[in-house]
Structure 1
Amino acid sequence: MPADVNALLKLPNTEAFDQWLALPGEWVEEPNVRRGGESGVKRVISAAGKMLYRKQQVGHIYRSLLHPFGYPTAMRERKVLLACAALKVIVPALVYAECRKVDGVWQALLITEALEGFSSLEEFYARGDEQLWGEALHLRVLQEVGACLARFNLGRWQHGCLRMKHVFVRVQGETIEVALLDLEKSRQRWRAKSAAQHDIKQLKRHSSWSTAQWQAFIYGYETTFGSSFKGM
């Protein structure tokens, strides 16, 4: 049965949580065991035909000064998703996010809309789409990737687990849009440059870009960030 989003959002929280959790879906990320619990993602279709993703967690927590005894990582991701609007960083639209304790164990749900028309850089490269783009457009795409990450880091946010599968791109004619996904490991640093150095180094380790392609990314990044990064 498709999800009637408007009806679900009007329900009292306890009932809403149970009904969101009960909706049938297809696993796109099987539950994995880590952080002392489980976390997985299912694809759910809304009554309006929108594709939604439901991240569901049991005992999957992080600890911080604010939450020394643990809090669901999905709630940290909710905070980042909401912060990205002010940073002009495209992320999946947040539909619902809530957590509760059952018999002393945290449960959490995070429902987001699919990024329509976007594909990850990992998918683009696996399909060989960059060959269809041509090098000039490919370099423009990488400049936009750099600009997007710079806006994110300027908010002192560090992605923390940046791979090609977390950077999504939509190319429509001359328009290039870039989005970031999988933000549950993100955290704010004291300095924007600390967040920047961590994410840039991590992305470089997991990219196979040529020198010219890497320079295009750095150009887009530095132009937006307003600072150079020597040795990157």
Structure 2
Amino acid sequence: MKDFIAGEEQRLLARHGLDNFDALWALQLEAVDEPNTEGRGWSTVFRLELEDKAFYLKRQSNYLTHTLTHPFGEPSFSREFRNIQRYAELGIPALQAVFYAQRKVEGEQRALLLTRALDEWQDLHDVLQGWDLMPAGQRNAVLDACGLLARRVHSSGQVHGCFYPKHIFLQARGDGYAAQLIDLEKTRPALLGERDRIKDIEPLLRRAQVWTGADVQRFLSAYLGSSANMDQWLERLTKRRKSKSVSA
């Protein structure tokens, strides 16, 4: 895959000598969390601040995803980068890539992905911590934003695959909220219609335990619009939630 660098940040990276794979790979930074490991592979996330801008730099080695099109594996960041580009083409609000590249070094498959930080946004997981203290109008605006985001993903023929509170980022705008997604590694085309859609949004409802029945209906109203049978969707979502609880 050809190296990618966003034109908007190319000069910024160049001023700091960071507009190439080797420089970004060698850059000494403190990890923001513990590395993910799998077999001989590892994947780590770092925060990078340059002048007045902030980014997240993700580096991985031999951290591979195996698919039918890549039976011997490819860097998981490669798949995530393609999905970031796909979301941008489809107009689905999501994190933005600044740099992507991968290399083979003495049999080691390395990849790095640089994305813009979402410092002025708050993930839904944190929003839910103060849910009961929020005014009703503000809660409804959050529910609407989340429902419309899910609707945008699915109407574009995609399923996110990890539609969790920690992956939905919100920003207050006037009386409403804007919403966007991160963690696009598991995104794929929707092939099973309503079944895929149920499977995608049920984990969000299961994790948003502070949402009342009325909250869930508000979310679904934004997601479904006026054309769908609310009772049927609630029944199917409840059935899946119960089946996941039993298998857990």
TM-score with structure 2 setting the length: 0.80
User: Which residue in the other structure is 2:149 paired with?
Assistant: 148
Partner of 1:189: 190
Hey, what does 1:33 align to over in structure 2?
Answer: 37
Q: Secondary structure at the match of 2:179?
A: strand
* CA shift digits 1:134-186 (9 cap, x unpaired): 11221121111011112112233222223211111011332410011111122
Displacement of 1:207: 1.6
Q: Is residue 107 of structure 1 aligned with residue 101 of structure 2?
A: no
Distance apart, 1:93 and its partner CA:
1.6
SS at match of 2:94: coil
Cα distance change of structure 1 residues 219 and 72 upon mapping to structure 2, 3 Å threshold = same
Task: Output the CA distance in 2 between the equivalents of 1:141 and 1:71.
Answer: 37
CA distance in 1, matches of 2:81, 2:110: 14
Offset at 1:22? 2.3
CA shift in 2, pair 1:58/1:146, >3 Å: same
* Residue 40 (structure 1) shift: 1.5
Q: Distance in 2 between matches of 1:222 and 1:109?
A: 37
2:11 is equivalent to residue 6 of structure 1? yes
Give, in angstroms, the shift of residue 56 of structure 1: 0.9
Which residue in 2 is equivalent to 1:199? 200
2:219 to 217, 220, 223: 217
Structure 1 pair 92/172, CA: closer, same or farther in 2 (3 Å)?
same
**How many residues are paired up?**
222
1:55 Cα shift?
A: 1.0
- The 2-side partners of 1:9 and 1:70 are apart by 32
Q: Residues 211 and 36 of structure 1: is their aligned pair in 2 closer, same or farther, counting only changes over 3 Å?
A: farther
Greater than 4 Å deviation, 4+ residue runs: 7-10, 226-229
Unaligned runs of 5+ in 2: 1-8, 238-248
State the distance in 2 between where 1:136 and 1:34 align.
Answer: 44
Match of 2:82 among 56, 79, 82: 79
Shift of 1:27: 1.7
Name the SS of the counterpart of 1:42 in structure 2: strand
**Aligned position for 2:96:** 93
- Partners of 1:35 and 1:171 lie apart in 2 by 42
The normalised TM-score by structure 1 is 0.85
Counterpart CA distance in 2 for 1:200 and 1:181 is 15
Q: CA RMSD in A?
A: 2.4
Q: Is the 8 A contact 1:93 1:113 kept in 2?
A: yes
Percent of aligned pairs with the same amino acid: 31
CA contact (8 A) 2:151 2:223 kept: yes
Query: Which residue type is aligned with residue 51 of structure 1?
Result: A
